[in-house]
Chain A
């Protein structure tokens, strides 16, 4: 019988009230079925395992060759996959069929500690601590205060240095559109009144903010002539059949790029909010809660389309300080 070191008491503590050991002192004969391998025909299983290892080896060699030859991705991946899979299969088959089938058991102590154990620990830990701070209450309070301030101060570089306060570097409430700004395509060409056909749509920006995430605007020619009035108070905003709206969806900020010409609606691709242009881009379907802000336009003497002013409300999705739609906002 080979020398086997004594096992330490197999965390022998059996907790309170748990079962005792199932077979005290029982002898287990060597040919007990638990020690036998699980396979009915181990020779056959060994053969299968051997084949799997060989397949893995060959696939790995194929992977190496494929890599050396800069083969395409799928060849590399399939050879690698077969190599890994065959290896794994062989290992599992070995473990499942060629090892003692068991089952085996070990005792499981209950996690709950006894009251006596708890009391002992608390006595040690808490009481030592209590004695340490006894009659030094003032020190404890000072420690607490210092600790609290330390915690707050440590957070500052970690959090506050991350970025500027909102509204400091870039306004939450205004875009870069100004009175007189020409509506300019991404290539930098200003739009003239005859450039867009009826049913046409183009993304425009102020000339000093091409590609701007917040000033992006869709310009749509809904009809050939005439002012379009979408809401009371907007009598001059839609000259020569043109309408311009903020391209930033008021729901979650995606660019609202889908224009349905016949229904005169803008659809946002992200969550399918639908805006009715003739009503001033009022949301008629989907989750968007507010209409797209409209950019007031005019046509200058040379025929260029220009903005009368910035949007009359903050564009895009809402935020805490925005207040309601068309609110009196800060600044």
Chain B
């Protein structure tokens, strides 16, 4: 599928240039992350020295001890429930909706799609108070399941918009063939469209998850305690106290927080890699 068909000799230079480019950009991308990991391993007095040194001289696991303590485990679990639940529920709703908007337009559907996209643009902080009032009435304050419900409107527009873009140019002939074969729209979607749309599905799932995973304002507004529904982004900001930031602990928590997100990334981007591999061997 890729343009890397037959490889002429000169592309070895192209390969080398590509590697160089990727390496340089990757190093720049990695720098803040390296700082985060290195800070998580530094004993506190080493952290605020000037000039900033990248590597710790006396690494310690103390901060990770704090990061794995009681409250933070609760934060992590709540985050997993809220983000995981919202992603799954989101996909279940977004996939048919995007398919409908892309291939089965009806009068006003363009308007609805626009409405969906526009809801994303409202600054969360402006919506926080009415969200709070609404959720209070529904009794969903301070539970991770309440957050699943709260995150749906945040996750859905993104997923629908991404999937719509990928479904739009899906070849109509394949759909037509499926319908001639007697498959209904949902079956067509599941059996024909989805398997061939894995790249788009992958990014929709990944970014839907990440948006919920990193969300702060709504979580702060709708939850109260670690034992209730508070998520890790809220937990992390409790490490910014009035006078000092508990850098080491914060970075350790951030490092741990990265792991589930990394797992989801590898999971959802597998489809992409398979496509890449196909392209490479197809040539």
A and B held together in a complex: no
